[in-house]
Structure 1
Amino acid sequence: MEQLLNDNEALIRQITEIVTTGGVNVLLALGILIVGYIVAGAVERAVKRVSERNPRIDKTLATFFASLARYAILAVVFIAVLSRFGVETTSLVAAIGAAAFAVGLALQGTLSNVASGVMLVFFRPYSLGDFVEVAGVSGTVADMNLFTTELTTSDNKTIIVPNGQAWGGVITNFTVKPTRRVDITYSISYDDDIDKAMDVIRAHYEADERVHKEPEFFLGVISHGASSIDIVTRAWTNTADYWGVYFDAMKGIKQAFDKNDIEIPYPHEVQIQKKG
């Protein structure tokens, strides 16, 4: 009888110990969850706030970094909670790593676009509203995120460019600078007066108020062609006025040449026949 009582007391002590330990673990796990959740939120807000203060970091990138920090902390909290209940976290971490590696291989193209998107948003080779040429296509940047860049073409088509292709190729930004140089070459006949033609060209550009005085307008003979003398012009203007200056010059110089009897020659061939 006494032995039975001793066994019951031992069993009760074991049950009490298990319950007490389990209760403590539950309370500790709950505390870790609460503290971890609070810390993750605080770190997320801090990272986002610091990132948004940096002019080189876009809001999209700031949100991405903040979310990345939050979920990294929550992952550590989750592993810590499991360890309180005796779960072998080493095997779990290895399994998660293997799964992440497999997912990374399956989504390497997508992850490449994300990495390129981070680089594009951070280094800012172009911004919303810029007219650019990327991956062999050109248009105005309508939207950009971590995966793609959306361009709107001059004829109002939408082109979606994966960021991996945009970052991996040559990027030409036509509007990032406040001024641009308008380069046009005009051809005149070998029989025309070169100085007269250059005076006519210069008069047109000097009359155009959109052409800057500095840097100074330049023109000069650039080549002796097969059937023409070629005169190059280089005029600086505001980026927004580039095409207006270009189109008006192409039309105005032609009309000025006509008024001054300056010929724009056509390519021609001279055939020489030998007498037999």
Structure 2
Amino acid sequence: MENVTSSLGWLQANLINILFVIVIAVIAYWIAGVVKSVILRIGKSQPSLDETLFHFLGSIARYGVMIFAGIIILDRFGIQTTSLVAILGAASLAVGLALQGTLSSLAAGVMLILFRPYKVGDFVEAAGTFGKVEAVTLFTTDMITFDNQQIIIPNSEIWGTKITNHSHHAVRGVDMIASVGYGTDIKKAKASIAKVLKANKQVLSDPAPFVEVETLGASSVDLLVRPFVTGADYFDVKYALPQAIYEQFAKDRIEIPFQQVVVHNAN
């Protein structure tokens, strides 16, 4: 009986506090939902930015509001929150040190999603890997290589290093070398290459292809051939033209040099 009386007395004494807790919890839950919704709406209004980032920021903001409400509630019951905040801070530091690599990838993921040096579908060379970007998450970047392997790279290994985005520009130059022997009529060689470039429907006429002598090698004259193509046709042209140029040189009787060793007899 004494326990029941004691409990009723505690409820009467703390009724206002209990109502306060309920009201604060409801209001905090509502505000947290509104804050997250606002952040998500901002993300949807910015098509140039990835929604993943705003989902992450919205969740952080929501939990932040709830934690702040929890501190207010504890303070209402006379619990010293200063010590609690210090303990939480120390615990956060310990967890941060333990998850240093993961948090580094998270920070890098936020930067990659925010600044978008590449997007899903781009052909990218990063962290020593070249492939097509399949997914960009807060922690990793997933790529598919040309031999159909899936490569998952932590974002921390990508951010801060060289990133080459081969899909950034709609039009790209395809550089290759066509070598001819010394004594070859260079104008004839250029005309032969021009036939190949004109016959390839994927090579653009504007900008015009570039064909000029680049170096004078030990046994060959090396011409730089640079046709321009759309990004989607880059690899088709890169691997199709060398054979076509070789076959055209053979038709036009243009000498294709090869490594030779000349031995002179001293007698």
TM-score, L = length of structure 2: 0.93
User: Residue 248 of structure 1: CA displacement?
Assistant: 2.6
AA matched with 2:77: F
1:62 — aligned with what? Answer: 54
2:90 — aligned with what? Answer: 98
SS, match of residue 142 in structure 2: strand
2:190 — aligned with what? Answer: 198
CA separation of 1:16 and 1:152: change in aligned 2, threshold 3 A: closer
Picking from 131, 139, 148, the partner of 1:156 is 148
User: Residue 265 of structure 1: CA displacement?
Assistant: 0.8
Q: For structure 1, which runs of at least 5 residues remain unmatched after alignment?
A: 1-11
2:72 — aligned with what? Answer: 80
241-250 or 40-49: which moved more? 241-250
Give the share of equivalent positions with the same residue, in percent. 42
Q: Which has the larger radius of gyration?
A: 1
AA matched with 1:193: D
1:248 — aligned with what? Answer: 240
Q: Find the aligned partners of 2:121 and 2:112 in 1 and give their Cα distance.
A: 15
AA matched with 2:215: S
- 1:210 is aligned to 2:202: yes
Q: Find the aligned partners of 2:8 and 2:190 in 1 and give their Cα distance.
A: 105
2:133 — aligned with what? Answer: 141
1:182 — aligned with what? Answer: 174
What is the CA deviation profile of residues 162-198 of structure 1, one whole-angstrom value per residue up to 9, with x for unaligned ones?
0000112111111222111011111111132222111
1:167 — aligned with what? Answer: 159
Q: Find the aligned partners of 2:244 and 2:95 in 1 and give their Cα distance.
A: 61
SS, match of residue 112 in structure 2: helix
How much is the aligned-residue C-alpha RMSD, in angstroms?
A: 1.9
What is the CA deviation profile of residues 71-103 of structure 1, one whole-angstrom value per residue up to 9, with x for unaligned ones?
000000011111111111111111101100111
Picking from 117, 122, 128, the partner of 1:125 is 117
Picking from 1, 16, 20, the partner of 1:28 is 20
Count of equivalent residues: 263
Q: For structure 2, which runs of at least 5 residues remain unmatched after alignment?
A: none
User: Residue 16 of structure 1: CA displacement?
Assistant: 9.2
User: Residue 243 of structure 1: CA displacement?
Assistant: 2.0
2:102 — aligned with what? Answer: 110
User: Residue 216 of structure 1: CA displacement?
Assistant: 1.6
